[in-house]
Amino acid sequence: MREYILAFLAGIWAADGISLLIAPRLIINRVREATAITPGIFRWQILAVAGGIALFILGFDLTYSPLWMITATGMIAKGIFLWLGPTEIRKRVLEWCWNREDIDYRFWGLGLCALAVLLLHALGWMGRE
């Protein structure tokens, strides 16, 4: 079960990464519209927190363990900030993030794809015979 949970997380990272690589402006504009229409969407960040906790616990003894601990901590911190952070600060941070150049989003997409591949490699699903 552990492998499937982590592989699901890798799949989410890969999907997000590929979408940011292919159409970064479209994705960011959709996210901006969704948050404008439904401000309560940030409650769903509890899933990022849960994913970070799962990665922290389930990825503890995998290859690249320090990477998973750092990534999990970042996921938890980002999720808590977006979920429970002060509205004014959250708006300023999101505005700054949304006004980046497309190349910045592509680098984030590349990073997410790399995390997905490394996690699948650590699980033994890629690159091992």
Each residue's pLDDT tens digit, 59-110: 989 989 999 999 999 999 999 999 999 989 999 999 999 999 999 999 999 9
Q: Give the long-range contacts of residues 60-63, CB within 8 A, separation 24 or more.
A: 62/6, 62/119, 62/122, 62/123, 63/121, 63/122
Q: How would DSSP label each residue in 9-52? A: HHHHHHHHHHHHHH-HHHHHHHHHHHHHH-GGGGGGGHHHHHHH
Residue 128: pLDDT band by 50, 70, 90 thresholds?
A: low
User: Would the CA dihedral through 62, 105, 88, 83 be positive or negative?
Assistant: negative
- This prediction's pTM: 0.88
For residue 96, give every residue at least 6 positions away whose Cβ sits within 8 Å of its Cβ, in sequence order, or none: none
Taking the C-alpha atoms of residue 108 and residue 88, their distance in angstroms, rounded to an integer, is 24
Q: Output the pLDDT for position 129.
A: 59
Domain ranges of the chain: 2-123
Contact 117, 17 (CB under 8 A): no
Taking the C-alpha atoms of residue 85 and residue 82, their distance in angstroms, rounded to an integer, is 6
**C-alpha to C-alpha distances, 32 to 29, 60, 75, nearest whole angstrom:** 5, 34, 20
Each residue's pLDDT tens digit, 9-68: 999 999 999 999 999 999 999 999 998 899 788 889 999 999 999 999 999 899 899 999
